[in-house]
Chains A and B, each alone.
Chain A
Amino acid sequence: MSVPAELRYTAEHEWVAIEGETATIGITDFAAQALGDVVFVSLPAVGATVTAGDPCGEVESYKSVSELYSPVTGEVTAVNEELNDDPALINAEPYNLGWIFRVRLTADAEATAGLLAAAEYEELTSSAS
């Protein structure tokens, strides 16, 4: 299981890559392996406002459906349309081609509050498995 050191994480098994005021979000390798093949991702709408900790989509696998939570607060600027044709990109490349959506962060510090460092997320998953 891979946990890239440069990313931030949530307890809901999402990763966040922050570059300036933009956050790119996906689900972790741990989550993708636990779910099995992803068959459908209900993406948030571009332009929608999302709030850290609130559901903004769904990830469906063969045996389960999981809420997709926004780990940050801001406005959705892009979604990964490739997932409509090949949702299993999330399994194949959870941190690259399997990204899910992008958010322009609000200016306040609350926008990214509570995110975990890689080491903290790794600890969380090792106690979960």
Chain B
Amino acid sequence: MTDFAGWLMPLRYGGETAEHDAVRNAAALFDLSHMGEIAVTGPDAGAALDYAVCGWPSALPVGGARYTMLCAPDGGILDDLIVYRQADERFLVVANAVNTAVVLGELRQRSAEFGAAVVTDETLSTGLISIQGPNGPGILSAVTDLPVGQMRYYTGAYGLVAGCPAWVARTGYTGEDGFEIFCAPADCERVWDALAAGGVPPAGLAARDTLRLEAGMPLYGSELGPDVTPYEAGLGRVVRLDKPGDFVGRSALAARAAEGPRRVLIGLVLQSRRVPRHGYPVLSGTSEVGLVTSGGPSPSLGAPIAMAYVAADAAAGPFSVDVRGRAEPAAVTKLPFYDRRKRQ
């Protein structure tokens, strides 16, 4: 067990490799109740969110989901978010546990000018259970009235899971097909047990981290933070400079978009089996050109992998990673490291 943003969470239930492989090859369950859930409701909810985040939530249809970011006025990333449009006048914003208080405060402050928008922290009244893996749709469809097999990726719908009312979304953080089920905390056990009944194992934070790393998905605190812009993170597409009206960070982000990033996020596969970890220097020849943001063993690739920021003018490589005093050669690879659509 480990302390994670004030939540006591399992790093693993059994072995990390088995948990990771279960998600890639079958399915596993995650308890994600630590995630922050913030509702933005009312006639001005869409307009308030359009001003608060760099995406365009008001353009989402009901049932739509979008990955977006909350940026500071200088364009730095305060958190990355999923926004669901659950009804015409109701959006659910899912924040990282470590940032829930910051996101809540910013959303409240930024929506203050929008008289008819209400921001409500629903974190403690919302449980979140996720089933991830290719067998997820089949397993979930047996215990829900929703036609989950027909749901498109990044959509959500209200329905019943194990008889309990839930918001079910085809989203995840593993690079695999899967669903996230938001329900009342009192119903979590029933939902979990119904999904686990056929022998679906639980997976912990460590597997979640290797899965998202293989999928090239950024993590706040590693790839993302207040000193990083979405452009540096390779996520410029989430900044909707084409949306109407002002939003927090617009002018700074527009300037960053025009000048091009000073550093870029790259993927590295090591030739040695020594594991690159957060903060290790990335070398080009003998000069340090960047830092590892996330690194770990990749069960799917069978080699250690890392994401790293390197200076844009050094991005061609060749690279090595300084793994505790020894330079380990590393090959640059296009992100993501793992793409389920390209599996044999």
Contact = CB atoms under 8 A, between A and B. Distances in A.
B275 A40 contact: yes
B15 A39 contact: no
Interface string A40-66: 101000000000000000101111010
A34 to B, nearest CB: 10
A65 B275 contact: yes
Nearest to B273: A40
Query: Which size bracket describes the interface of A in this complex?
Result: 10 to 19
Contact of B206 (A58, A63, A88, A91): A63
Interface in B7-26: 11-12, 15-17
Contacts of A63: 11, 206
B210 interface: yes
B277 A65 contact: yes
Contacts of A58: 274, 324
Given A62-B206, A63-B206, A36 B11 contact: yes
B12 A39 contact: no
Interface in A50-87: 58, 60-63, 65
Contacts of B275: 39-40, 60, 65
A122 interface: no
Interface residues of B, number: 16
B90 to A, nearest CB: 38
Given A60-B274, A65-B275, A36 B297 contact: no
A37 interface: yes
Contact of A62 (B274, B297, B324): B297
Given A36-B12, A88-B17, A91-B15, A65 B324 contact: yes
Nearest to A61: B16
B296 A62 contact: yes
Interface in B301-332: 304, 324
A40 B274 contact: yes
Nearest to A65: B275
Interface string A78-106: 00000000001001000000000000000
A40 B15 CA distance: 15
A88 B274 contact: no
B274 A37 contact: no
Interface of A: 36-37, 39-40, 42, 58, 60-63, 65, 88, 91
Q: Which 7 A-B pairs have the closest CB atoms?
A: A39-B297, A40-B273, A62-B16, A37-B15, A37-B16, A62-B206, A60-B275
Interface of B: 11-12, 15-17, 206, 209-210, 273-275, 277, 296-297, 304, 324
21 contacts: A36-B11, A36-B12, A36-B15, A37-B15, A37-B16, A37-B17, A39-B273, A39-B275, A60-B274, A60-B275, A60-B297, A61-B16, A62-B12, A62-B209, A62-B210, A62-B296, A62-B297, A63-B11, A63-B206, A65-B324, A91-B15
